[in-house]
């Protein structure tokens, strides 16, 4: 018993010593814990606080709503439509595959979309959302919401998509928007462009006015949880919506022009105010539906547009280049008169051809016109007269006048895809072909053939500058623009050109205009039939107009072929001549100019002429430049 007690005493003493040792060790370790707490919570707390904020707070840019585009009467051409889209975020692609698989089941993404989505998710930084699918229907929205618990990082976002109510009719002018490309970013450092939902103007006015239409981004500070879901909004600064724009286009006239052109496979009509330079209508057929781009074009649709031989994506009004043919004769005439190479009364002979170094340059009229002065030669479109007039004036004078009238360079319209055409000159030929300019080249240039090419817009500009008395008007598509806070309204009408004069002799211009008037209004004129309307009724004197026909050679029919009975009509479509017509009216107080090209339309007077007449007459009737009262105020936003 005693031994036991004593034994317990020994045990107890050892226990006490060792227990105290253990307790001491524990005290040391707990002090270490407190030390660690001190290190984390006092010494390094700032760093961790910052990290926690970075975890928690996400800056998100609010895409500004894009400016709207209207025609001159206030009809909407490009508007924004609400768009429910599925967005996804993931932290550098963590768990992305699972989510994408589930999305695939719900939305039927398809292989290409899946791949794109995975790529974008892996690339996205700071949990910046990427677009899964745009324009969701109600059913799809419901299915996504229903499955939300299985779709971490996926959310529905109410955004805006571009809608083009006029579709194909305005496709080339308004253009369309698309995802921002690297090329678009060039020189622009607007952070909003990094947003996945942001759209950038790709064609047409959407492109040329991009920086006005885009607006400024707002910023919202949101608190997000670990999977990037927004928990609440902390701060918001609204951006500024893009400016709205009024175009110079008159939608009714645009529609009429398109209808007239619709009888032919492809072509272009440009109507321009000769005083202000406003483009009243500008049609290029065929067009395309820009809404397919807004919606997201499919590969097949894209291929079809690209492979179409009538090139619907090309705006032929500004991008198509054609030999101007006889419509160029105004340039030759003016150059010859201005350089005193001919006088208004100079009569030049025409036997049906001119011979130069053994080569015959034919007049379109077999047998010739006999002899004509400049006014008569223009009315009858005598080629021989203009061969000789060109020869006398020389290529340099012609090129000089042509440049003044707008040939050979891109206009100030600003639309992408505009071509400069080609105004040949001595230097140009030397540089391009290493060959000196020949007299024959001057002959060809004199009747707008050979190396000479121009766009329908350039022809309209030329006609306008002749019609307005020699003022350097520039084509213009933007009537007015205003931020959403300002009022958008057309400027007051203007009746005098404010462009500088081109300093042509008024008498010479008058003579050229007389010639153009005779084309339509004199019995000699090549487009004499156009003095009557489509129903055969003589035009109202107030609507009488002047014009010039042209036929641009695509394939030269050789003597041999002619003997074999080959005519233009028997050639395949793509080899037939282009038909051209330029005109302005009213003949006494010119206000509107119009240029028409019907691709492979064979003869200017026959196919292009009636279109030009109808469109020009309609334009004069409506007189959109003076009737600003037709402008309807848009419901503000």
Tell whether residue 97 is a contact of other proteins (CB under 8 A).
no
- 91 or 157: CB nearest other proteins: 91
CA of 375: how far to CAs of 472, 512, 521, 531, 545, in Å? 24, 7, 13, 18, 16
Measured in degrees and rounded to the nearest 5, phi and psi for residue 495 equal: -110, -10
Stretch that binds other proteins, among 27-35, 337-345, 357-365, 477-485 (CB under 8 A): 27-35
CB of 125 to other proteins, least distance (A): 13
Positions in 201-240 near other proteins (CB under 8 A):
223-227, 231
The SS3 assignment for 178 reads strand
Residue in 605, 606, 592, 585 with CA at minimum distance from that of residue 541: 585
Positions in 51-70 near other proteins (CB under 8 A):
51-53, 55-56
- CA–CA dist 237, 53 (Å, integer): 19
Of residues 62, 74, 76, 94, which one binds other proteins by CB under 8 A?
A: 94
Q: Are 98 and 115 in contact (CB under 8 A)?
A: no
Measured in degrees and rounded to the nearest 5, phi and psi for residue 258 equal: -65, -40
CB of 236 to other proteins, least distance (A): 19
The SS3 assignment for 160 reads strand
Tokens 């004078």 belong to 397
Interhelix angle 506-521/329-338, nearest 10 degrees: 150
Stretch that binds other proteins, among 19-27, 317-325, 422-430, 490-498 (CB under 8 A): 19-27
Q: Record the tokens describing residue 375, joined without a space.
A: 């006014």
CB of 188 to other proteins, least distance (A): 32
Radius of gyration (C-alpha) of the chain in whole angstroms: 36
Q: Are 417 and 203 in contact (CB under 8 A)?
A: yes
User: Mapped to the 3 state alphabet, what secondary structure does 240-295 carry?
Assistant: ECCCEEEECCCHHHHHHHHHHHCCCCCEEEEEEECCCCEEEEEEEECCCCHHHHHH
CA of 484: how far to CAs of 63, 198, 238, 502, in Å? 16, 19, 14, 39
Measured in degrees and rounded to the nearest 5, phi and psi for residue 185 equal: -70, -20
CB of 33 to other proteins, least distance (A): 5
- 3 or 503: CB nearest other proteins: 3
CB of 156 to other proteins, least distance (A): 21
- 26 or 498: CB nearest other proteins: 26
Q: Are 53 and 59 in contact (CB under 8 A)?
A: no
Site string for other proteins, 573-602 (x = CB under 8 A): ------------------------------
Per-state percent for the chain, helix, strand, coil, to nearest 5? 45, 20, 35
Stretch that binds other proteins, among 15-23, 68-76, 451-459, 522-530 (CB under 8 A): 15-23
Tell whether residue 433 is a contact of other proteins (CB under 8 A).
no
- 92 or 574: CB nearest other proteins: 92
Is 284 one of the annotated active-site residues of the chain? Answer: no
Phi-psi region at 450: left, alpha or beta (left = phi > 0; alpha = psi -120 to 50): left
The SS3 assignment for 552 reads strand
- 149 or 565: CB nearest other proteins: 149
CA of 61: how far to CAs of 53, 58, 191, 195, 233, in Å? 18, 10, 8, 7, 13
Tell whether residue 38 is a contact of other proteins (CB under 8 A).
yes
Tell whether residue 42 is a contact of other proteins (CB under 8 A).
yes
Of residues 62, 91, 420, 531, which one binds other proteins by CB under 8 A?
A: 91
CB of 123 to other proteins, least distance (A): 15
- CA–CA dist 599, 264 (Å, integer): 8
CB of 35 to other proteins, least distance (A): 10
Stretch that binds other proteins, among 7-15, 137-145, 245-253, 361-369 (CB under 8 A): 7-15
Tell whether residue 4 is a contact of other proteins (CB under 8 A).
yes
- CA–CA dist 430, 436 (Å, integer): 5
- CA–CA dist 256, 611 (Å, integer): 10
Of residues 41, 112, 351, 501, which one binds other proteins by CB under 8 A?
A: 41
Residue in 165, 205, 171, 162 with CA at minimum distance from that of residue 66: 162
Stretch that binds other proteins, among 31-39, 272-280, 442-450, 590-598 (CB under 8 A): 31-39
Of residues 59, 81, 82, 92, which one binds other proteins by CB under 8 A?
A: 92
Size of the site for other proteins (CB under 8 A): 45
CB of 21 to other proteins, least distance (A): 8
Tell whether residue 148 is a contact of other proteins (CB under 8 A).
no
Q: Which of 65, 266, 317, 326 is catalytic?
A: 326
Tell whether residue 359 is a contact of other proteins (CB under 8 A).
no
CB of 96 to other proteins, least distance (A): 13
Other C-beta atoms lying within 10 Å of the C-beta of residue 473: 24
- 91 or 301: CB nearest other proteins: 91
Tell whether residue 126 is a contact of other proteins (CB under 8 A).
no
Tell whether residue 191 is a contact of other proteins (CB under 8 A).
no
CB of 127 to other proteins, least distance (A): 12
Stretch that binds other proteins, among 6-14, 193-201, 360-368, 471-479 (CB under 8 A): 6-14
Q: Are 238 and 218 in contact (CB under 8 A)?
A: yes
- 36 or 236: CB nearest other proteins: 36
Active-site residue list: 326
Contacts with other proteins, residue ranges (CB under 8 A): 1, 4, 7-8, 10-12, 14-16, 18-19, 22-23, 26, 29-30, 32-34, 36-38, 40-42, 44-45, 47-49, 51-53, 55-56, 91-92, 94, 223-227, 231
């Amino acid at each position: 018993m005693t031994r036991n007690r004593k034994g317990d005493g020994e045990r107890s003493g050892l226990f006490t010593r060792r227990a105290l040792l253990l307790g001491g060790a524990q005290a040391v370790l707990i002090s270490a814990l407190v030390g660690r707490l001190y290190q984390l919570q006092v010494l390094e707390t700032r760093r961790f606080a910052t990290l926690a904020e970075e975890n928690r707070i996400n800056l998100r840019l609010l895409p500004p709503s894009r400016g709207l585009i209207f025609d001159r009467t206030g009809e909407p051409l490009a508007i924004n439509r609400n768009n429910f889209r599925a967005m996804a975020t993931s932290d550098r692609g963590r768990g992305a595959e699972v989510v994408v698989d589930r999305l695939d089941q719900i939305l039927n993404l398809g292989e290409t979309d899946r791949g794109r989505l995975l790529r974008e998710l892996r690339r996205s930084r700071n949990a910046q959302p990427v677009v899964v699918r745009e324009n969701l229907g109600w059913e799809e929205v419901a299915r996504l919401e229903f499955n939300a618990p299985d779709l971490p990082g996926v959310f529905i976002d109410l955004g805006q998509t571009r809608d083009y109510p006029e579709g194909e009719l305005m496709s080339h002018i308004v253009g369309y928007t698309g995802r921002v490309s690297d090329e678009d970013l060039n020189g622009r450092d607007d952070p909003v462009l990094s947003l996945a939902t942001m759209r950038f103007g790709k064609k047409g006015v959407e492109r040329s006015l991009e920086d006005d239409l885009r607006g400024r981004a707002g910023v919202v500070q949101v608190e997000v949880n670990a999977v990037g879901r927004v928990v609440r909004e902390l701060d918001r600064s609204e951006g500024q919506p893009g400016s709205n724009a009024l175009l110079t286009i008159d939608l009714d006239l645009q529609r009429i022009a398109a209808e007239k052109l619709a009888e032919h496979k492809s072509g272009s009509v440009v109507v321009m105010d000769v005083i202000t330079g406003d483009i009243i209508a500008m049609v290029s057929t065929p067009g395309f539906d820009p809404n397919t781009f807004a919606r997201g074009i499919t590969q097949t649709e894209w291929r079809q547009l690209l492979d179409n031989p009538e090139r619907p994506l090309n705006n032929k009004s500004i991008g198509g280049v054609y030999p101007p043919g006889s419509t160029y004769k105004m340039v030759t005439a003016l150059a010859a008169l201005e350089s005193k190479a001919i006088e208004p009364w100079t009569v030049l002979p025409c036997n049906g051809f001119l011979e130069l170094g053994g080569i015959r340059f034919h007049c379109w009229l077999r047998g010739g016109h006999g002899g004509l002065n400049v006014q008569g030669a223009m009315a009858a479109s005598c080629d021989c007269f203009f061969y000789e007039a060109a020869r006398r004036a020389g290529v340099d004078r012609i090129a000089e006048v042509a440049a003044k009238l707008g040939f050979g360079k891109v206009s100030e319209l600003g639309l992408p895809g505009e071509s400069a055409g080609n105004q040949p000159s001595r230097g140009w030929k030397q540089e391009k072909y290493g060959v000196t300019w020949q007299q024959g080249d001057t002959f060809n240039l004199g009747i707008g053939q050979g190396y000479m090419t121009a766009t329908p817009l350039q022809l309209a500009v030329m006609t306008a500058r002749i019609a307005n008395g020699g003022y350097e008007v520039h084509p213009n598509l933007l009537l007015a623009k205003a931020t959403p806070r300002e009022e958008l309204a057309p400027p007051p009408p203007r009746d005098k050109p404010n462009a500088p004069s081109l300093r042509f002799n008024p008498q010479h211009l008058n003579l050229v205009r007389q010639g153009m008037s005779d084309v339509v209004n004199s019995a000699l004129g090549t487009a004499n039939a156009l003095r009557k309307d489509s129903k055969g009724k003589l035009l109202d004197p107030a609507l009488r107009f002047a014009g010039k026909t042209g036929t641009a050679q695509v394939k030269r029919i050789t003597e041999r072929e002619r003997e074999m009975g080959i005519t233009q009509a028997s050639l395949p479509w793509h080899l037939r001549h282009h038909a051209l017509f330029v005109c302005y009216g009213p003949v006494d107080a010119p206000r509107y100019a119009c240029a028409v090209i019907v691709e492979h339309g064979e003869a200017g007077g026959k196919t292009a002429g009636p279109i030009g007449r109808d469109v020009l007459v309609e334009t004069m009737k409506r007189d959109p430049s003076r009737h600003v009262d037709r402008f309807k105020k848009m419901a503000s936003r």
